[in-house]
Chains A and B, each alone.
Chain A
Amino acid sequence: MAERALRIPERIEEITEPEELERLYQQLCEEERTVEAELESFVNQKGSIAAKMIALQRMGPNLQLIEGDASQLSGMIKFTCNLAENVSSKVRQLDLAKNRIYQAIQRADDILDLKFCMDGVQTALRNEDYEQAAAHVHRYLSLDQSVIELSRQGGEDSMLDTNLSLLQEAEQHLKVIVAEKLDQAIKEGDLPQVERFFKIFPLLGLHEEGLGRFSQYLCTQLASKAAQNLQLAMGVELSEARAALVFADTLTLLFEGIARVVETHQPIVETYYGPGRLYTLIKHLQVECDRQAEKVVDKFIERRTYHRKFQVVQNNMMRNSSERIEPRELDPILTEVTLMNARAELYLRFLRRRITSDFEVADSAAPEGITQEHQKSLEKLLNDCLLSRNMQELIGYYITMEEYFMKETVNKAVAMDTYEKGQLTSSMVDDCFYIVKKCIGRALSSSSIDCLCAMINHATSVLESDFREVLFNKLRQGFPATTLQDIQRGVSSAVSLMQSSLQQGKFDTKGIESSEEAKTSFLVTLNNVEVCSENIMTLKRTLENDCAKLFSQGSGKGDQARAKIDSCLSDLVAVSSKFKDLLQEGLTELNTTAIKPQVKPWITSLLSISHNIEEEEFNEYEANDPWVQQFIVSLEQLTTEFKAGLSSVIYDNLTSLITSLIATELEKTVFKSIFSRLGGLQFDKELRSLIAYLTTITTWTIRDKFARLTQMATILNLERVTEILDYWGPNSGPLTWRLTPAEVRQVLALRIDFRSEDIKRLRL
């Protein structure tokens, strides 16, 4: 307020305008009114504030009362608290006393137990009640060692000492007896007795030993069974149904036997030895499994002359051996090997699952380190066992033989290639992919990811180099041209034919009798190439599905295996595009050697038809078409041949190439001709019919390819040179010019009735 009071007089001198003065006055009045209103409201509140003050004064004495009450209450609480403290300390003392009493009772009980055990063991041993004796010893062993120490200090030394030593003696004695009894039972093959003593071992704290002896028993059982099975297998007649798979079957029996043993005895082990012991049991059993499996594998190698066959195959692959082996001979043995490996993988998977879940139960509360330790020892057991090493070795040999089988059979399929009239492809494509699929399928059936990947790689190699080479060479022989080109081409194709048959030796011995046959062969090969690239994609998809199935069964090492397969499959897919490239090369070849030489003269014949014409000739042309009808008929003849012989995809591709060819050639020809006004009209008509025809034989639009020609026809059809400006630049509307200004001038110059000065004068 003071500020304002000070400021206003200052301003007053400055205020010269009455309006200003008026406005300021108004403002001041306004302020005054608001201040007044505020004051009014304060005055109104006065009554209620006074009432509140009175109420507060009245509350004063009450507050003093409350304070007194509160201090009294606090005193009471303090007292109660002390009381409680007192009581509880007494309770604590009581509790301590009670605990001590319990401990005393416990100790007394223990001592009594100990005495009872001492007596019990003696009697039990005398009565040959080993379970009872073991239970006593177990009780003694589970007693706190300190109790025994304390009892010893108790005073009655001598008696307790003798008793204790008696007990220890009994324990040792019992251990010896039980071990002996178990051994005896094992020797006699008396399963109930074996199980009886087996159950006693953990009571004596001899878990490992018990499991060891028990698995020894199981091993002898397995061994005798396996020996029987092998004996049986050796006796199988060749004519019997599964004779070819007899070793795989024997191996299967062995694995099933072990699996059954694990199934039946796991509950006993778990009940009496606790969880986490299965690993030890299986570790012992695996030794026997390895031994028996090796016997089977050895017999397999011996009987099937596996190594010998491998040697021969390897020598054949090196191409330095006269001794050849028929791929067909390898077929059964390859199937058997993969089956053997698949069984082994299945068995190892079973063990892994069982041991892992057993460890999981045992290690649920164990620290991380122990779990990892267990996992590591499990991996070591499964990966380093002789069985997996043996199997890996077999698979190593298998891969080379399978590669040989695939290569040789593909070669055979190529050599026996036949083509039936009416078919688009020849037999070798289907045969070849059947073989590749079979080989990869067999590798897959081994359930070994490494093996599968290796075979996918080999298949990729065979398809990419061997098989593609065959098709490539066929295409290189070219498509024999007809008519004039025949003589010319005949020489060069004979040369190339000779060269290629010299290079390959075996594929082209049939030779090509007639050009008709050569034509078919070329077209069939084109179809073959296309089907190959399709088939590879199909093969990849099938394999992906199969692998997904394999993974869902829980085989392989998850991510890494998946990445391996993905990588190999992507290499396979790359081959598909190589076939596509080959197809394109073949088509280009066909286009340049067979189609261009024929189509080009047809187009250049347009030159002999004058387009510098008057009304009379134009009408004459109307009646007797000079060029385009004939051209269309010839094209029709040319393409029918291909339409019948090629798959629709390739045919589409080819017609697209042909239309491009026609467009470029026709353009060149037009630039060599001259036109009158009516000649331009004539050409426009011809072009329209041609485009109309070509549209019927192609599946996609060809308008784009003929855009330049259509525009040239438009220019040739103009009335005057300057008319071009109606279509050019800002007037072009939706039309996009494909011709450069220079080309437009060039086309205009083809019209003999257009003056070159006019053309030069054009601003484009």
Chain B
Amino acid sequence: MDSGKLHISVPVSRNRVISKLPKWYTPESCLQFKEDFHGKVKGACQNRHTRSGGLNISKVVVVGDLYVGKTCLINRFCKDVFDRDYKATIGVDFEIERFEIAGVPHTLQIWDTAGQEKFKCIASAYYRGAQVIVTVFDLADIKTLEHTRQWLQDALKENENTSPNIFLVGTKRDLLSPAECERTENDAIRIASEMQAEYWSVSAKTGQNVQEFFFRMAALAFEESMLRELENSSLSTARIGEANVIRIDENAEAPQSKRTAEPGLGCC
């Protein structure tokens, strides 16, 4: 029922439309404090309606120990299902999620890697060219949090020239009492700030924060890819009438954000 398997030409499904920059999970560990997209990006988005812009893709790599729930997290978001049975991922799985962000189509390629040691060789071949690295750990298993450093290091090794957005995600939140959760989260936030990552606690079983997390990730990846593209185009060609574009944008921005206030995006 989702757009997971759909082809490129199919319109974006309604529950994948993001109009405002979603908020962070916790201000102690967050990549961007802005309330809305970068002004230049918004301008370009307005402009993009008329142009048939190129295909916009961000590559997301999900890493972490085995049995922390990487596949469950992705399946909850992409297919809205939760399968209690553990099935080890073989090599890599792959999902395509299509979004419409600030009126511009954007595609996330989510590469779900295997956590088992024996698949590390095959999985690590997929780390390159990632715009987003999601390191996942199990909130109920503190050891897996320790291992995220190594996972991130491995993933970053294949992306030396670019600086991907990094997220640290704790899963299985439903298994913990609020007090336990707070304790683990404090540790996680510390590690996240070392990694320069944004921290999120989620539960694939209840669905808590899953959509919020993916939306946030998609929006930040989108913003980054737009900024990169703008930089490239401003390097190669002189922009004529750019000032004009921005002026139009400022007028049009207010009604747009009002029209599409996303319900239920508040933090919990």
> CB within 8 Å of B: which residues of A?
383, 388, 392-393, 395-397, 399-400, 403, 450-451, 453-455, 457-458, 460-461, 559-560, 563-564, 567, 571
Contacts and interface: CB of A to CB of B under 8 A. Distances in A.
Interface of B: 5, 57, 59, 90-94, 96, 109, 118-122, 125-126, 128-129, 158
Given A396-B120, A563-B96, A571 B91 contact: no
Residue of A388, A400, A403, A454 with highest tally of chain B CB at under 10 A = A454
A564 B129 CA distance: 14
B5 A399 contact: no
A344 to B, nearest CB: 13
B125 A457 contact: yes
A576 to B, nearest CB: 15
Contacts of B5: 559-560
Residue of B57, B59, B120, B128 with highest tally of chain A CB at under 10 A = B128
A455 B126 CA distance: 9
A341 to B, nearest CB: 12
Contacts of A564: 92, 94
Contact of A450 (B59, B92, B96): B92
A388 B120 CA distance: 17
Contact of A571 (B96, B121, B122, B129): B129
Contacts of A560: 5, 93-94
A176 B90 CA distance: 45
Given A454-B125, A461-B128, 12 more contacts: A388-B90, A393-B118, A395-B91, A399-B122, A400-B121, A451-B122, A453-B126, A454-B122, A461-B158, A560-B93, A560-B94, A563-B94
A383 B90 contact: yes
A453 B94 CA distance: 12
A468 to B, nearest CB: 12
Contacts of B93: 560
A616 B12 CA distance: 79
Contact of A454 (B109, B126, B129): B126
Given A399-B121, A400-B121, A567-B109, A392 B91 contact: yes
A460 B119 contact: no
A488 B121 CA distance: 50
20 contacts: A383-B90, A388-B90, A392-B90, A392-B118, A393-B118, A396-B120, A396-B121, A396-B122, A399-B121, A451-B91, A454-B91, A454-B126, A455-B125, A457-B125, A460-B128, A560-B94, A564-B94, A567-B57, A567-B59, A567-B109
Contacts of A400: 121
A450 B122 contact: yes
A563 B119 CA distance: 21
B70 to A, nearest CB: 16
Contacts of A393: 118
Nearest to A448: B91
A547 B267 CA distance: 45
Contacts of A383: 90
A458 B93 CA distance: 18
Query: What does DSSP make chain A's interface, helix, strand, loop or mixed?
Result: helix
Residue of A395, A396, A559 with highest tally of chain B CB at under 10 A = A396
Contacts of A453: 92, 125-126
A388 B118 CA distance: 13
A454 B94 CA distance: 13
A466 to B, nearest CB: 13
Residue of B59, B96, B129 with highest tally of chain A CB at under 10 A = B129
A713 to B, nearest CB: 28
A563 B57 CA distance: 13
Contacts, number: 58
Contact of B125 (A397, A458, A559): A458
B128 A397 contact: no
Residue of A392, A403, A450, A560 with highest tally of chain B CB at under 10 A = A450
A571 B128 contact: yes
Contacts of A395: 91, 122
A464 to B, nearest CB: 9
Contacts of B126: 453-454, 457
Nearest to A559: B5
Residue of B59, B118, B122 with highest tally of chain A CB at under 10 A = B122
Top 3 A-B pairs, shortest CB-CB distance: A454-B125, A450-B91, A396-B121
B32 to A, nearest CB: 26
Contacts of A451: 91, 122
Contacts of A454: 91, 122, 125-126
Contacts of A450: 90-92, 122
A453 B125 CA distance: 8
B125 A403 contact: yes
Nearest to A379: B87
Contacts of B122: 392, 395-396, 399, 450-451, 454
Contacts of A403: 125
Contacts of A563: 94, 96
Contacts of A460: 128-129
A411 B109 CA distance: 32
A399 B125 CA distance: 8
A563 B6 CA distance: 10
A453 B91 CA distance: 11
Given A392-B90, A454-B126, A461-B158, A397 B121 contact: yes
A560 B4 CA distance: 9
A123 B57 CA distance: 79
A503 to B, nearest CB: 16
Contacts of A458: 125
Contacts of B109: 567
A669 B165 CA distance: 52
Nearest to B117: A396
Nearest to A455: B125
A461 B125 CA distance: 9
Nearest to A458: B125
A395 B96 CA distance: 25
Nearest to A388: B90
Nearest to B120: A396
Contact of A396 (B59, B118, B129, B158): B118
A209 B93 CA distance: 38
Contacts of A461: 128, 158
Contacts of B128: 457, 460-461, 571
A455 B128 CA distance: 12
Contacts of B158: 461
Nearest to A561: B94
Contact of B119 (A392, A457, A567, A571): A392
Nearest to B4: A560
Contacts of B57: 567
Nearest to A380: B87
A454 B59 CA distance: 15
A250 to B, nearest CB: 23
Contacts of B125: 399, 403, 453-455, 457-458
Nearest to A392: B90
B40 to A, nearest CB: 24
A316 B4 CA distance: 40
A563 B128 CA distance: 17
A450 B112 CA distance: 12
Nearest to B93: A560
A637 B47 CA distance: 50
A458 B91 CA distance: 15
A256 to B, nearest CB: 25
A64 B126 CA distance: 98
Nearest to A395: B122
A392 B121 CA distance: 11
A307 to B, nearest CB: 12
Nearest to A571: B129
Nearest to A558: B5
A403 B120 CA distance: 14
B139 to A, nearest CB: 28
Residue of A388, A399, A403, A455 with highest tally of chain B CB at under 10 A = A399
A175 to B, nearest CB: 36
A52 to B, nearest CB: 69
Nearest to B109: A567
Given A461-B128, A571-B128, A396 B94 contact: no
